[in-house]
Copies of this chain bind each other. A is one copy, B any other.
């Protein structure tokens, strides 16, 4: 179905060639500071055409709030938000209808939905993630009020073979957004940007990894069996189109897994637990930063080189705010779930 979350629920809708994309956010309590600008600012970070390394397609992506907000605060009722599609060109469909695009799910969709729509309803498009950014912006507003110490930040940590060193604690979105590649390391960012421009010119594409970090989480969020924090985030991230893997913990997790347990779990020099848990133990946040590495396939490229300028050669920079949004939605839901469990001694 098209709803994400249990208590903080985001329902998304919209086809990339239809009239509008949107989301309905249910479960946001009353009194959370919220305006159109808050949501628009979040959407602007995802919008195409932000720099030379993204698609040249023009979409203003202006959001309109239809319900749930009054005089700058949430009402406690469902918040509906829509973005009109400006650049939907139905004349393209006849051509597309005649062939399946390599690397795309066109055939699979047709077998599943049995319909004539050549693009599977347009829900396969990365444009669908716009709805998630809306949900994430509202989740962040809620978290900001309820758990002000919690901070979510994501960055591009790998593109093709180029890998950035792990940034220190306290990394901010401003630091990430300072680079078109959203890689916060100056040297690697420059290499990545050159690499993406080269791929763009060649009609090629690049994959890689984004790392997501949640600093300052309360202790004990999550559920012990189903609904572990790991499981909630893994579900959230692998639900984004091109994602093909997740790994919790340090960047060199694969290497560390080759170590025996006595070394893997060895406490740090200062006596605190090892830094291998990615902030999650027994399914619950342990109070340390949660960190996840998210793997992305390179996008399937279009066979038609004439359209080469209209696709993203590397979706990772624009996927950063999408993963941040998914994270905020997960933590908003976890937070409300925790309130619904008044455990007492």
Q: How far is the CA of A71 from the CA of B15 in the complex (A)?
A: 13
Q: Is the pair A2, B78 in contact by a Cβ cutoff of 8 Å?
A: yes
- On chain B, the residues within 8 Å of A340 by CB distance are 7, 27, 336-337, 339-340
How distant is A128 from chain B, measured CB to nearest CB, in Å? 6
- The verdict on A262 contacting chain B, using a C-beta distance below 8 Å, is yes
Q: Lowest 4 CB-CB distances: which A-B pairs, in order? A: A105-B282, A112-B220, A205-B261, A261-B298
How distant is A1 from chain B, measured CB to nearest CB, in Å? 5
- The verdict on A59 contacting chain B, using a C-beta distance below 8 Å, is no
Residue in contact with A18 in the complex, picked from B67, B208, B209, B247, CB distance below 8 Å:
B67
- The verdict on A20 contacting chain B, using a C-beta distance below 8 Å, is yes
Q: Is the pair B11, A11 in contact by a Cβ cutoff of 8 Å?
A: yes
Binds B, one of A48-56, A117-125, A170-178, A317-325: A117-125
A-B contact pairs, 19 of them (CB 8 A): A2-B26, A2-B77, A11-B11, A13-B66, A13-B68, A13-B78, A19-B65, A71-B117, A76-B121, A77-B224, A111-B219, A114-B343, A145-B344, A199-B261, A205-B261, A207-B259, A234-B234, A234-B235, A336-B341
Residue in contact with A281 in the complex, picked from B26, B108, B206, B286, CB distance below 8 Å:
B108
Q: Is the pair A78, B244 in contact by a Cβ cutoff of 8 Å?
A: no
Q: Is the pair A224, B67 in contact by a Cβ cutoff of 8 Å?
A: no
Contacts A2-B223, A199-B261, A234-B235 supplied; 8 other A-B pairs, CB < 8 Å? A1-B226, A4-B226, A13-B24, A24-B24, A27-B340, A105-B281, A123-B225, A199-B260
- In the complex, what residue of chain B is closest to A205 when comparing beta carbons? B261
Q: Interface residues, chain A, CB within 8 Å of chain B?
A: 1-4, 7, 9, 11-15, 18-22, 24, 26-27, 29-31, 64-68, 70-71, 73, 75-80, 82, 102-105, 107-109, 111-117, 120-124, 128, 145-146, 158, 160-161, 199, 202-209, 219-220, 223-228, 230-239, 241, 243-249, 253-254, 257-262, 264-265, 267, 273-274, 276, 278, 281-287, 295-301, 336-337, 339-345
How distant is A18 from chain B, measured CB to nearest CB, in Å? 5
- In the complex, what residue of chain B is closest to A340 when comparing beta carbons? B340
Q: Is the pair B121, A70 in contact by a Cβ cutoff of 8 Å?
A: yes
A12-B225, A19-B65, A230-B239 known; A219 and B112 CB under 8 Å? yes
How distant is A106 from chain B, measured CB to nearest CB, in Å? 8
- On chain B, the residues within 8 Å of A299 by CB distance are 261
A123-B225, A226-B239, A341-B27 known; A67 and B15 CB under 8 Å? yes
- On chain B, the residues within 8 Å of A262 by CB distance are 203-205, 301
Residue in contact with A67 in the complex, picked from B20, B79, B220, CB distance below 8 Å:
B20
Q: Is the pair B238, A80 in contact by a Cβ cutoff of 8 Å?
A: no
How distant is A307 from chain B, measured CB to nearest CB, in Å? 14
Q: Is the pair B258, A161 in contact by a Cβ cutoff of 8 Å?
A: yes
- On chain B, the residues within 8 Å of A80 by CB distance are 13-14, 20, 22, 82
